[in-house]
Amino acid sequence: MRVALGVTGGIAAYKAAELLRTLQDRGLDIQVVMTAGARNFVTPLTFAALSGHKVITGTFGEGGKEPNVESAIEHIAVAQSIDALVIAPATANVIAKMAHGVADDFLTTLCLATKAPIIIAPAMNVNMWENAATKQNLKTLRARGVRVLDPDEGYLACGMTGSGRLTSVESIAQAVFETLNLRDDLRNETILVSAGPTEEPLDPVRYITNRSSGKMGYALAEASRRRGASVTLVSGPTRLAAPAGITVENVRTTAEMRGAMLRGLDRATMVLMAAAVVDFAPARVEAEKIKKSESGLRLELQPTPDILAEISHRRKPQHLIVGFAAETSHLLENAAVKARAKGLDMIVANDVTQEGAGFDSDTNIVTLVFPDGQVKPLEKMSKLDVANAVLDEALALRSKRVAAGGK
Ligand code: C5P
């Protein structure tokens, strides 16, 4: 979803950078629009770097460019493409302009041109806040359906004390999430996710690994975060960028992954073990590179520790434990046996030989398998959708457990 963040010229403009980050944490794409006044307090570069988009400032054709049809269309496209407009901080001036339908720069034009819901977080000197004109303007805006987030009381940058401080970044973000109806059904969960392959060294330059891309685990971390969970992602080597707003622990070997997972376990309420842990490691790691000339080289392998079985062994009442099984045959029978053997609440089984499933694919075709043998096949869908379906099911298990008197 796309949100326009309007920044106007007040001391609190710097707080908009923090707001941008908080909104991004929940998967929102942010287009920043600054007034000329805002540029006296913060530079567009700050917002461009954080948002990954060019910042829209002032009016059409600014920054040396001639006003042209292309820039006018680009501007109108923003009005149509956004799901919400939040202005933080909103000065008395922008509030007055909005109340009177003035459209003399891009932000005020956007306010008129968009049909998306508008949220404003005023911040100003206490006298300006209490001025009858401002009060009247806010009344007008409220009556038109604009959501106004009243400022807090406290010490103001002008040296006075009173009402006028920008309300907290968290409450502004919360108002945006509510307006967009973003799900936050995982806000009480602390989720530990593993992703990607592990690597087992043979010598200083060679290692054994597998074809896992990490996409499923990263999608789980992202979906969990978007739904309000606090997330730690333990990731083997992948080429993926970490989703915003989560803690990432990068690991290489199975032993490192085991350590990171066990460290995160006490705080976690859910464990989603999507990593494709290497099952066999060389019995010996050579200190020197093995010579190519070494004829008849035989590798002795030994099983790696089963991290998931160990986690399940240390299970606390709050834990919901989900495993993943990639198989090439006898998928469902193997998965149900594994769920029972490893003491899991659910296992997500996928046949990696199917087109559109498994490693490196952006889609997946999975079946949710429960220890009692119940199965729920899902359609082919994006890994993010699979992640949400897995989380829905985990939450349903949580509710059943709570209803049964557990955690
Ligand atoms: O037994 P199998 O490897 O098929 O089980 C799959 C599940 O067990 C996955 O969730 C995987 O992350 C986990 N696993 C593990 N440690 C291993 C091997 C697999 O945690 N050594």
Nearest-atom number in ligand 1 for the CA of 327 is: 4
> What is the reported pLDDT for 360?
78
> Cβ contacts of residue 145 below 8 Å, gap of 6+?
117, 118
Q: Does 164 share its domain with 197?
A: no
Determine, yes or no, domain membership for 286: no
Fill in the DSSP letter of residue 185: T
**Domain annotation covers residue 397:** yes
* 212 in the same domain as 159: no
| Contact criterion met (CB below 8 Å) for 138 and 116 | no
Write the residue with the smallest CA distance to atom 16 of ligand 1. Answer: 306
Last residue of a domain, one of 179, 200, 235: 179
Locate the ligand 1 atom nearest the alpha carbon of residue 309 and give its number: 20
Residue 248 sits in the same domain as residue 111: no
Q: Which is the closest atom of ligand 1 to the Cα of 305?
A: 21
Is 97 domain-assigned?
yes
Tokens of 392: 């829905």
108 and 194 in a single domain? The answer is no
Query: How far apart, in Å, are the Cα atoms of 102 and each of 3, 96, 111, 121, 174?
Result: 22, 8, 9, 19, 28
**CA-to-CA distance for 372 and 201, rounded, in angstroms?**
38
Decide: 324 in ligand 1 pocket, CB within 6 A: yes
The model's pLDDT over 78-128, given as tens digits with 9 standing for 90+, comes to: 999 999 999 999 999 999 999 999 999 999 999 999 999 999 999 999 999
Strands 247-250 and 230-235 come out as parallel
Q: Are residues 198 and 54 in the same domain?
A: no
pLDDT of the residue at 361? 83
**Based on the domain organization, do 22 and 168 belong to the same domain?**
yes
Instruction: Judge if 114 and 232 occupy the same domain.
Output: no
In the chain, the amino acid numbered 342 is K
DSSP H or E stretch at residue 372: none
| Alpha-carbon dihedral sign for residues 327, 343, 282, 288 | positive
Would you say 149 and 120 are in contact if contact means Cβ atoms under 8 Å apart?
yes
Closest CA to 286 of 278, 303, 304, 298: 298
Same domain, 328 and 215: yes
47, 17 in Cβ contact below 8 A? yes
The answer to the question of residue 294 being in a domain is: no
Q: Is 158 a catalytic residue?
A: yes
Please state the rounded mean pLDDT for residues 351-373. 85
Is 394 a member of any domain?
yes
In the reported structure, the alpha carbon of residue 219 is separated from the centroid of ligand 1 by a whole-number distance in angstroms of 18
Residues 169 and 123 in one domain: yes
Q: How far apart are the first and last CA of the chain?
A: 33
Q: Name the residue range of residue 125's domain.
A: 2-179
Residue 338 Cα to ligand 1 midpoint, Å, equals: 9
19-65 pLDDT tens trace:
999 999 888 999 999 999 999 999 999 999 999 999 998 665 554 55
CB atoms within 10 A of CB 297: 10
273 in the same domain as 127: no
User: Binning pLDDT at 50, 70 and 90, where does residue 68 land?
Assistant: low
Choose one of 179, 200, 228: the last residue of a domain.
Answer: 179
CATH code of the domain containing 125: 3.40.50.1950
Instruction: Show the tokens assigned to 41.
Output: 């307090």
* pLDDT tens, residue by residue, 299-315: 899 999 999 999 999 99
The enclosing domain of 268 has a CATH number of 3.40.50.10300
Q: How far is the CA of 215 from the centre of ligand 1 (A)?
A: 17
The pLDDT value recorded for residue 244 is 81
Would you say residue 296 lies in a domain?
no
The type of residue at 2 is R
Which residue, 179, 206, 232, sits at the end of a domain? 179
275 close to ligand 1 (CB < 6 Angstrom): yes
pLDDT score at 333 = 84
CB burial readout 309-329, b (16+ within 10 A) else e: eebbeeeeebbbbbbbbbbee
Q: Which helix (H) or strand (E) holds 192?
A: strand 190-195
- Please indicate whether residue 258, judged by its CB atom, sits closer than 6 Å to ligand 1: no
Share of residues in the chain with pLDDT > 70 (%):
96
Question: Measured between alpha carbons, how far is residue 231 from residues 37, 60, 183, 225, 366 in Å?
Answer: 38, 41, 16, 6, 23
pLDDT of res. 276: 96
pLDDT at 69: 62
Bridge partner residues of 163 (DSSP): 153
Is the predicted pLDDT of residue 70 greater than 70, yes or no?
Answer: no
Shared domain check, 203 and 175: no
| 141 touches ligand 1 (CB under 6 Å) | no
Considering the candidates 50, 96, 102, 158, report the single residue annotated as catalytic: 158
Ligand 1 centroid, distance to 233 Cα (angstroms): 16
Q: From CA 51, how far away is CA 301, in angstroms rounded?
A: 47
pLDDT tens sequence across 312-335: 999 999 999 999 998 777 888 889
The answer to whether 179 and 84 are in contact (CB under 8 A) is: yes
Residue 248 CB partners (closer than 8 Å, separation 6+): 232, 233, 235, 242
On whether both 239 and 95 belong to a single domain, the answer is no
Q: What is the mean pLDDT of the chain?
A: 92
Has residue 407 got a pLDDT over 90? Answer: no
Query: How many domains are contained in the chain?
Result: 2
Residue at 389 is within a domain? yes
253 neighbors 190 (Cβ within 8 angstroms): no
pLDDT higher than threshold 90 for residue 77: no
User: Over 80: is that where the pLDDT of 72 sits?
Assistant: no
Identify the three-state secondary structure at position 67. coil
223 lies in some domain: yes
Are the C-beta atoms of 162 and 242 separated by less than 8 Å? no
